[in-house]
């Protein structure tokens, strides 16, 4: 995206575009692709600072952040679902008397969480096909309507009816899969290059914000003795899909989707809304999208699922998947999933440990702000690589503390839990969402993101199942020693990052396409210089 043409050549180019559907090219083409359009449309925004881009493209940021409200609900839903089990009235209504106290069976707890993960997995995977057929807004609207209905099922939960809760949670989780995929997809397609890292990586912030809000709500309601102690948290979820559904009437459809559907007039109107107040030329950016899509068509991309695993797209799909696998390799489920456990080990009462858990989530939001503030300066590859190192070392230090006797070592485990949260959320947490959203081609973005959501859910689910068997006293009873396991596995994830995660900071969609087509190595992505004639050379002096 750029400002209005300021040179005679740019003015001539703008005047050449007589209508939004025009795809006629000047003579300076390469296989039918107008290379000047691609170069000129990207030139101005690459010279903007992040602060300048945030102000100039404030409308685009606002639209991207609004649709990320669905990601916020996803975090809220997951935390509410696990948090209500700690509420006494919920255990009274859904549990049974065992050893003098009301207990919700482990089988049903596992069933609810497993069904929800399957629901989110299937929702995320189906989002790719749905979004390519009816658009990003239509996909979110479907998710909002279904979510509103599924919350009714949970709110009016009858005592001793675990199947009803299973049904409601699974359906709502399907909507969460749609919301998460569309938040990343939409952010990548309406954001200028200078802000793409902030808007796509910001999806992780919204998830964490939802988790934080849910934890606060559960804590506030937990003292009630009636069924509204858990019904109110379920009811609060209605806020999210209702706001999303109403807001869809005021936000534009993705211009990339509209161009691919041949709706050039609507795409131009969408760009006018996205670029409102920026002074940028919507017609020039329409041409940029048209040229990029035509360029990808020359690479014989058809947007089918099978194309994810063909040619250079295979590499791109693998990168989009592995960022989430690396997060699991670095021990995110182990450290963050058992943070309250480590606080209790350090001698904090359960109530205080729970408060510390809320504080840790607040620290996570601080970490996200750090990550988003630096992602356009340090880059994706740098943040992800050093984030992997930090999380891996933290897991090893947790493991060391677990074999050292004394209260000081227990305090050390609690401290390293909080340090891990800060390191993870300022590095591999938000960057993972950024990489998988922008690494794909424009033609396959919806399906690549959907595939990434599926891989994320599968690997997170596997680790969640394994962890209790490693940590619980009646199983392997390794406790904090599990840090040694994830610290060791994290080393391999760090090595993978060095060799395979490319730097995409400051790259337009067509430039990323070009580098993959040229099979530039991940370590050379940041050094590659692309000329206006699409020649590529590696600047060995570049950092």
Q: Residue 485 falls within a domain, yes or no?
A: yes
Q: Quick one: 61 and 202 in the same domain?
A: yes
Residue 41: the pLDDT is 59
Q: Quick one: 231 and 317 in the same domain?
A: no
Q: Residue 347 falls within a domain, yes or no?
A: yes
- Euclidean distance between CA atoms 227 and 401, whole angstroms: 41
Q: Quick one: 67 and 133 in the same domain?
A: yes
Say whether pLDDT at 36 is over 70.
Answer: no
Alpha helices in 191-247 (DSSP H): 196-221, 228-236, 239-247
* 228 C-beta neighbours (distance < 10 Å), count: 14
Residue 534: the pLDDT is 66
Residue 23: the pLDDT is 35
Q: Residue 231 falls within a domain, yes or no?
A: yes
Q: Residue 30 falls within a domain, yes or no?
A: no
Phi/psi for 406 (5° steps) reads 110, 155
Instruction: Give the closest residue to 429 by CA, choosing from 489, 368, 349, 503.
Output: 368
Q: Residue 466 falls within a domain, yes or no?
A: yes
Tens-digit pLDDT profile for residues 288-307: 888 888 877 776 666 788 98
Q: What is the pTM of this model?
A: 0.85
**Residue 386 or residue 47, greater confidence:** 386
Q: By mean pLDDT, which of 72-86, 248-262, 424-438 is the weakest?
A: 72-86
Measured between alpha carbons, how far is residue 10 from residues 19, 28, 34, 40, 246 in Å?
16, 13, 13, 8, 39
Q: Across the chain, what does the average pLDDT equal?
A: 84
Q: Residue 420 falls within a domain, yes or no?
A: yes
Give ∠ CA 122-80-185 in degrees, rounded to 5. 40
* 132 C-beta neighbours (distance < 10 Å), count: 21
Beta bridge partners of 316: none
Residue 24: the pLDDT is 39
> Strand, helix or coil at 464?
helix
Say whether pLDDT at 11 is over 60.
Answer: no
Q: Quick one: 320 and 458 in the same domain?
A: yes
**Residue 261 or residue 465, greater confidence:** 261
Give ∠ CA 431-436-437 in degrees, rounded to 5. 95
Give ∠ CA 444-442-13 in degrees, rounded to 5. 155
Say whether pLDDT at 92 is over 90.
Answer: no
Instruction: Give the closest residue to 131 by CA, choosing from 184, 78, 172.
Output: 184
Q: Residue 486 falls within a domain, yes or no?
A: yes
Residue 28: the pLDDT is 42
Tens-digit pLDDT profile for residues 250-282: 999 999 999 999 999 999 999 999 999 888 888
Q: Residue 289 falls within a domain, yes or no?
A: no
Q: Quick one: 322 and 247 in the same domain?
A: no
Say whether pLDDT at 370 is over 60.
Answer: yes
- Euclidean distance between CA atoms 364 and 210, whole angstroms: 12
Instruction: Give the closest residue to 447 by CA, choosing from 266, 202, 170, 184.
Output: 184
Q: Quick one: 212 and 313 in the same domain?
A: no
Say whether pLDDT at 29 is over 60.
Answer: no
Alpha helices in 17-57 (DSSP H): 35-46, 50-56
Look up residue 238 and give its DSSP letter: T
Q: Which tokens go with 402?
A: 């677990």
- Euclidean distance between CA atoms 257 and 310, whole angstroms: 22
User: How many domains would you assign to the chain?
Assistant: 2
Q: Quick one: 247 and 326 in the same domain?
A: no
Assign 3-class secondary structure to 134-169.
Answer: HCHHHHHHHHHHHHHHHHHHHHCCCCCCHHHHHHHH
Q: Quick one: 332 and 429 in the same domain?
A: yes
Q: Quick one: 229 and 313 in the same domain?
A: no
**Residue 195 or residue 540, greater confidence:** 195
Domain assignment of residue 418, given as a range: 305-524
Residue 248: the pLDDT is 95
Instruction: Give the closest residue to 222 by CA, choosing from 357, 418, 88, 39.
Output: 88
Q: Quick one: 329 and 417 in the same domain?
A: yes
Q: Quick one: 348 and 460 in the same domain?
A: yes
What CATH number corresponds to the domain at position 104?
1.20.1250.20
Q: Quick one: 246 and 383 in the same domain?
A: no
């Amino acid at each position: 995206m750029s400002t209005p043409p300021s040179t005679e050549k740019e003015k001539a180019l703008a005047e050449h575009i007589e209508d939004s559907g025009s795809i006629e090219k000047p003579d300076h083409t390469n296989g039918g692709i107008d290379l000047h359009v691609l170069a000129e449309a990207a030139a101005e925004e690459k010279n903007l600072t992040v602060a300048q881009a945030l102000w100039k493209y404030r409308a685009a940021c606002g639209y991207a952040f609004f649709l990320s409200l669905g990601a916020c609900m996803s975090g809220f839903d997951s935390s509410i679902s696990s948090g209500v089990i700690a509420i006494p009235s919920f255990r009274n209504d859904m549990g049974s008397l065992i050893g003098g106290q009301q207990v919700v069976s482990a089988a049903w707890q596992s069933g609810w969480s497993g069904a929800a993960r399957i629901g989110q997995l299937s929702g995320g995977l189906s989002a790719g096909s749905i979004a390519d057929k009816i658009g990003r807004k239509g996909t979110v609207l479907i998710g909002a309507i279904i979510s509103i209905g599924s919350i009714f099922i949970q709110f009016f939960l009858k005592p001793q009816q675990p199947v009803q809760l299973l049904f409601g949670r699974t359906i709502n989780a399907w909507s969460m899969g749609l919301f998460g995929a569309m938040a990343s997809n939409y952010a990548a397609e309406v954001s200028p290059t200078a802000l793409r890292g902030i808007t796509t990586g910001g999806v992780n912030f919204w998830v964490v914000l939802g988790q934080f809000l849910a934890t606060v709500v559960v804590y506030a309601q937990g003292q009630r003795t009636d069924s509204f102690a858990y019904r109110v948290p379920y009811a609060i979820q209605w806020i999210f899909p209702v706001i999303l559904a109403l807001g869809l009437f005021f936000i534009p459809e993705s211009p990339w989707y509209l161009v691919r559907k041949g709706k050039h007039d609507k795409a131009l109107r969408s760009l006018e809304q996205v670029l409102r107040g920026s002074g940028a030329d919507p017609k020039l950016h329409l041409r940029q999208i048209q040229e990029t899509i035509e360029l990808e068509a020359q690479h014989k991309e058809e947007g089918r699922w099978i194309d994810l695993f063909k040619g250079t797209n295979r590499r791109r799909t693998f990168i989009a998947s592995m960022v989430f696998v690396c997060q699991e390799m670095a021990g995110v489920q182990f450290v963050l999933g058992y943070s309250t456990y480590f606080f209790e080990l350090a001698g904090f009462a359960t109530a205080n440990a729970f408060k510390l858990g809320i504080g840790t989530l607040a620290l996570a939001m601080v970490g996200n702000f750090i990550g988003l503030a630096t992602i356009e300066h340090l880059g994706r590859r740098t943040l992800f690589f050093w984030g992997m190192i930090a999380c891996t070392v933290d897991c090893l230090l947790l493991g060391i503390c677990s074999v050292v006797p004394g209260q000081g070592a227990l305090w050390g485990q609690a401290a390293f839990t909080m340090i891990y949260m800060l390191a993870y959320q300022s590095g591999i947490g938000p960057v993972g969402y950024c990489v998988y959203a922008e690494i794909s081609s424009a033609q396959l973005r919806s399906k690549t993101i959907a595939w990434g959501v599926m891989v994320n859910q599968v690997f997170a689910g596997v680790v969640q199942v394994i962890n209790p068997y490693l940590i619980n006293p009646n199983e392997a009873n390794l406790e904090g020693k599990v840090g040694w396991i994830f610290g060791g596995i994290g080393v391999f994830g760090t090595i993978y990052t060095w060799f395979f995660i490319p730097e995409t900071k400051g790259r337009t969609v067509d430039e990323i396409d070009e580098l993959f087509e040229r099979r530039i190595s991940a370590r050379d992505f940041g050094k590659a210089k692309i000329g206006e004639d699409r020649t590529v050379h590696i600047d060995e002096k570049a950092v």
